[in-house]
Amino acid sequence: MVKAYAINDDDKFFKSDEMNFTTDEIIRLKVGDSFEGGIIYEIDNSGIHGLLVSSADVTQGTNWQTAIDKCKDYTRQGNGQWRLPSKGDLEKLYAQKDNIGGFAGTPYWSSSIEGANNSLAFGVYFGGGTNAGKTFRYTKTDVFLNYRAIRDF
């Protein structure tokens, strides 16, 4: 139940009729939830902002530039502005891979390049064994890496 009260510049007092209303339930999102065409892999303390990853590989076995371009063009449920994850984003994504699922046991491209050497970019290995979750440098023309798109929400 709500009433509004106000006093104007002439010191006249106003009050509204009593009004009843209900608010919509606040839905708290969590890592692993499907949302806006992707899967949440990072979320802030508010529970309403974070990062989404595409629910499957955008394509497989492409070079770095193709991965960049395909992520820019990627849309799901009318939502654009997807991008190839940075090295740091990809490392965080690897940490959540079991909550997301569907990753191939291969390296995944990141958008991060190797300093002054413009021919190398970083990727994270999503397979098992001693290299699981490790970051490596790859030649941008390599075509054996997979990738997923990410975006803010």
Give 19's strand partners. Answer: 2
pLDDT digits (tens, 9 = 90+) for 53-89: 999 999 888 999 999 999 999 999 888 999 999 999 9
Which token pair is 87?
């090295």
**Total domain count, the chain:** 1
pLDDT at 133: 96
pLDDT digits (tens, 9 = 90+) for 81-140: 999 999 999 999 999 999 999 999 999 999 999 888 889 999 999 999 999 999 999 999
CATH number at residue 125: 3.10.100
pLDDT at 5: 65
Is 42 within 8 Å of 51 (Cβ atoms)? yes
pLDDT at 148: 96
pLDDT at 56: 94
Report the distance separating Cα 144 and Cα 109, nearest Å: 10
Let me know if 10 is exposed, middle or buried by CB neighbors in 10 A (0-12, 13-18, 19+): exposed
When computed from its CA atoms, the radius of gyration of the chain, rounded to whole angstroms, is: 23
More confident residue, 56 or 5: 56
Please give the residue range of the domain that contains residue 19.
5-152
Report the distance separating Cα 104 and Cα 96, nearest Å: 14
Query: Mean pLDDT throughout 25-45?
Result: 88
pLDDT digits (tens, 9 = 90+) for 14-24: 677 777 767 66
More confident residue, 4 or 124: 124
pLDDT at 14: 66
Report the distance separating Cα 122 and Cα 27, nearest Å: 36
Q: Tell me the whole-structure pTM to 2 decimals.
A: 0.78
User: What is the number of alpha carbons within 13 Å of residue 129 lying toward its C-beta?
Assistant: 6
Report the distance separating Cα 96 and Cα 41, nearest Å: 6
Report the distance separating Cα 65 and Cα 57, nearest Å: 16
